[in-house]
Structure 1
Amino acid sequence: MTRSSAFSPFLLLGGGGQYEDRAANSHVYGFANAGGGFLISLNEARTVAIRVDAKHYWVFDNDSSSHSYLQDTRLNAGVQFLLGGKTEQPAAPPPPPQPKDSDGDGVIDSLDQCPGTPPGTKVDSRGCPLPPPPPPKDSDGDGVYDDVDACPNTPVGFKVDARGCAIREARIILHDINFEFDSSRLLATSKAELDKIAAGLKGQPTMGLIIEGHTDATGPDAYNMKLSKARAEAARSYLVSQGVASSRLEATGYGETKPIATNKTKEGRAENRRVEFKVTRE
């Protein structure tokens, strides 16, 4: 096996015995040795090295002299070759390169049909940006999105709370509730507007309304008062016919007593001819 250092010291310790068959008799004696040395490697694999060692020998032979043993010291130097050393394992091959995803969208370049996607963009399996989600819908236009609107179909113009429900004292004014001349009979266009009110009342089943009729100053006061009351009652009757409980609706007329514009012009008188809806119960 290979050594871990270019300079390798070592110790030596040994012993043994020897049998001699002589002409006169046979003889057995033993010996021992101890010493040390070092190796200096001559190549990177450390399979060739200079070896230097020294040993001291003791030979236990009573026949050789007057002493019971002989001593000897030897110094050796030479070149050592390591045969059949352990072959080093080849280095593990580098891992295969990871598929590249240049724009970091989670789809590798070889499959990405939309390279260069901006960071953070959500993409489909082709690496192309997903279409943006549809904007939140507010069908009744009250400022509260449909997915959280507890009172859908609120008539346009009513003030609502965070739930989308009309608040008490909220009021809308409609100039599109028209009647036949000098009559309380509703026109077809007026019914279409009242249908929107009915839908809002169905969407908020606890809401109550008072319907107020108003006229301009043309004609006698008493006549205008009576006409405004009749027109308010006509609007109420139509809402009831559309499935709104009569207990939720009141009707009253104010004639020409509450103008919101001047009666001296045609435009002002048109403003004063109106129907108002006021929330009395949420």
Structure 2
Amino acid sequence: MAWWSGPRRRRSARTQARSRALVALLAAFLAPAVQAQSAGPITAMDLERLRFNPAATDSLLVDTGHVLPEGSYRLMLMAGYERGILLLRGSDGVDRSIIDYRVAGWLAGAWSPVERLELSARLPIIIAQGGSGAESLVGVTAPTSFGLGTPELGARYALLRREDGAPVFLGLGLDIGLPGGTASAFGRQNGWAGFQFAPRVAVGREVGPLSLGASAGVRIRSMEVEPGRNFGSELEQGLVVATRGEGLRAEIALEAAESLVAPDVALELLGGLRLPVGHGFEAFALAGHGFTDIPGTPSFRVAAGIAWAPPHAPPAREDACKEGRSHTPEQCPELDDDGDSVANAQDRCPLEAGAVDNGGCPDGDSDGDGVVDRQDRCASEPGLPRYQGCPAPDADGDGIPDDEDACPQEAGVGTNRGCPVQQEKPTEAPPAEPPPEQAPPPEQAALPTDHHVLFPVGESSLQEEEKRQLDAIADYLKAHPELSVRVEGHTDSTGPEELNRTLSQQRADMVREYLIQRGIEGSRMVAKGYGSSRPVTGNSTPEEQRANRRVEFVTESAGEAPRR
């Protein structure tokens, strides 16, 4: 045993030395590789970033605030392919495409149970996915190739609607992500049991053949600490421009998500086409390109699907334009809410009565002369209606307008029709005794021609009572053949002045023709219409306006002043 012991001990020592050398060699060779491949553990997160609108009222991709009509619904089935979804960089500086591709499908639908409210549901299915490099990283497990994404329930409520006369669609939305996604397939968040909450506001409007829309909101979810970056809650925005119409429609959208837990912004540009194929079915396709390498943002994606939205007759709505019902001028463009004879659609001031010639808005009168500014040729200087708001011309400055002044170039007095009074120089004579006091002359009796012929509003026809008065005037003129008559027609101040002047002339002509029929020679009478320029009283009450709707007579004979 002693002999064997020595050689046995010598062989054992040589074997141990060889083993230690081999271990040292392997360690020197493997240590750098193990260090480079260490990336730290990675936890589950929801990588799906495609946001779409199941109702697709205006856009496939972005909420525009326009909800489905009450009682209608839309169901859809979509499948898509994505590339470059999840990259992970090891400590050696090499990127591993943990999920290089994904084939996914979606079942989704939207329904409006009551007016202004829309409910929706989305179920994403991860059909197949794969990548490379996960097995080379310490603490990283390759994702499973099949699973479910995060199911979502959503609701949208329309605050403003274009069909109600609002300038835009405006809506509030809320999506809730539910537990059920497959964590090992990166179909759900690891924390909060997979729940997510996404409130948002959306606005939209039609502009010619296009629909414009925008949405903004926040996706609230658990924060997952990942190698190199954190992943969690994000601000989400979307912009879309889409065509309108019954046939082929197109759209382009920009979707962005700004992380609230890391300095990251995910950005993707998408386009879509949709085409009705009959019986309520619609085929559609999407394509997009991502501009960042944030987890879940693919380098590109394509998707296609089919949707079914059966034609739906909207429930009968109460007619807001019926008499006595509340409405806005925009809802009832054919009505005249302010009663100014201008329909709401053409009225620039639909809730304030105004003039037809001023687009339904009230007229201004800067100088307060009763002539509105748009008809006043001297808007900053008070004047008279018959001179289009300008002061009456008075060449001789005697205070009597030229058209009433018998001596317009020579100052005179009103009692002499604007002419100066000629006084004879008295001859010297002995003072005469004062004449005896005389009784004042009796008041002059009213003549038939003092009567004013009155007319109804807007008419020039004679009433029976007025015809009897004109018969008496005809008898009087027959008895006084030396008299000539000026028949003057007048109106109240309501209505445009041009119309009033025409109406006053028609009234004067009607009276003149009647007197001719009663035997008065036409050469003795002149008819002249003055519109509303010579009121006999004010125009603020119906009684005053009635008194101004008249024809009056001015008679004169040779050597006598005219008498009204």
Q: Give the TM-score normalised by structure 2.
A: 0.20
Larger RCO (alpha carbons 8 Å, 6+ apart): 1
Structure with larger Rg:
1
Q: Give the TM-score normalised by structure 1.
A: 0.38
